[in-house]
Amino acid sequence: MIVFPNCKINLGLHILNKRADGYHNLETVFYPVPLMDALEIITTNKNENASSIGVQFSSSGAIPEIPAEENTCLKAYRILKKDFPQLPAITMHLHKIIPSGAGLGGGSADGAFTLTLLNKKFCLNLSFEKLMQYALRLGSDCPFFILNKPCIATGRGEILKEIDLNLSPYKFLLVNPGITINTAHAFSNITPAIPDQPVKEIIRKPIESWKEHLTNNFEKTVFIKFPEIKSIKDNLYHSGAIYASLSGSGSSVFGIFRKEEIISYTFPEHYFIKELNCKLK
């Protein structure tokens, strides 16, 4: 059985305050984007050797350099295996397309889609609410990929409210320069503050007004440390973007363009660049 975990972008991102548990309260809009990894899970044959956790895991493509125990797909299997010991040994292959450490939630999507795939394949009969609870144990933005619809996210990013936001008349240009930004370090350089206008109000306004009002708090510190990333945003506006922004804590930058517009741009050859429709198929 194969699924295709998609990524997300952030439309606006305000860091409001630091919590007693060390996390930050934030507000943002998560919007699903049709840039996808591929995840396959099959039951392991009895004569094959799975690992000690019951998974024969392999990966290909843009593979992040992380220890196996930090892989969200394996974490998802372990979480379910603890509560459902009847889960059989499996063979899992992940093909990575979504850049890692790029503010696109690729790893979170892989973990959340693993939960839903295991639930379906092995008839665990988990409710939507229960899947959301398991996803939160994987990471703050993992529950979004269970819902996987445009929504306002608050709290740590796990409190989700679906919104009516249709960007299908537009297209994205997604640009990643191959720079990995440590999320914890990015948060440490942020000065939390309550904005004059919340994201949920700004997002209701015409998209042409977003350039002046819809901000990502990480841009100031990220752009100072990595001027190359600021140049990407500037270039997107120069190419005719209606709105452009850093996604998450970076390093990916996206521009929103009218669908009929032919985008002319110049970026270094090693950049990851994708032109995408503004809705999932």
- In the prediction, which pLDDT does 50 show? 54
- In the prediction, which pLDDT does 192 show? 87
The pair of structure tokens assigned to 238 is 């120069």
- In the prediction, which pLDDT does 63 show? 79
Mark whether 14 and 87 lie in a shared domain.
yes
> Quick one: average pLDDT of 66-93?
91
pLDDT in tens, 16-57: 998 888 888 999 999 999 999 999 999 987 555 555 568 999
Mark whether 134 and 183 lie in a shared domain.
no
- In the prediction, which pLDDT does 190 show? 85
Mark whether 155 and 198 lie in a shared domain.
no
Q: Which pLDDT band holds residue 3 (cuts at 50, 70, 90)?
A: very high
What is the domain range of residue 65? 2-162
Determine the 3-state secondary structure of 272 from DSSP. strand
Mark whether 37 and 104 lie in a shared domain.
yes
Separation between Cα atoms, residue 41 and residue 3, nearest integer Å: 9
Are 100 and 180 in contact by the 8 Å Cβ rule? The answer is yes
Which one is catalytic: 8, 75, 81, 171? 8
pLDDT top residue among 115 and 67: 115
Which has the minimum average pLDDT: 62-66, 137-141, 226-230?
62-66
Mark whether 25 and 140 lie in a shared domain.
yes
Are 273 and 174 in contact by the 8 Å Cβ rule? The answer is yes
Mark whether 102 and 177 lie in a shared domain.
no
- In the prediction, which pLDDT does 51 show? 55
Mark whether 203 and 102 lie in a shared domain.
no
| Statement: residue 114 has pLDDT above 90 | yes
- The answer to whether 81 is a known catalytic residue is no
Which one is catalytic: 81, 141, 171, 233? 141
Q: Which pLDDT band holds residue 87 (cuts at 50, 70, 90)?
A: very high
pLDDT in tens, 221-240: 999 999 999 999 999 999 99
Of 135, 162, 189, which residue constitutes the final position of a domain? 162
Are 201 and 13 in contact by the 8 Å Cβ rule? The answer is no
Of 162, 190, 224, which residue constitutes the final position of a domain? 162
Are 98 and 109 in contact by the 8 Å Cβ rule? The answer is yes
pLDDT in tens, 160-208: 999 999 999 999 999 999 998 877 777 878 888 899 999 999 999 999 9
Separation between Cα atoms, residue 188 and residue 191, nearest integer Å: 8
Are 258 and 239 in contact by the 8 Å Cβ rule? The answer is no
Q: Which pLDDT band holds residue 277 (cuts at 50, 70, 90)?
A: confident
CA 25, distance to chain mean position in Å, is: 18
Determine the 3-state secondary structure of 240 from DSSP. coil
| Statement: residue 96 has pLDDT above 60 | yes
- The answer to whether 83 is a known catalytic residue is no
Are 222 and 101 in contact by the 8 Å Cβ rule? The answer is no
Of 141, 162, 183, which residue constitutes the final position of a domain? 162
The CATH number assigned to the domain holding 153 equals 3.30.230.10
Q: Residue 173, CB half-sphere, CA atoms under 13 Å: how many?
A: 24
Mark whether 34 and 155 lie in a shared domain.
yes
Q: What is the number of domains present in the chain?
A: 2
Mark whether 177 and 244 lie in a shared domain.
yes
Q: Where are the beta strands (DSSP E) in the chain?
A: 2-3, 6-18, 24-36, 38-43, 55-61, 90-96, 151-154, 159-162, 170-176, 243-246, 253-258, 272-277
Average pLDDT, the chain: 92
**Cis bond before residue 251 (omega within 30° of 0):** yes
- In the prediction, which pLDDT does 143 show? 97
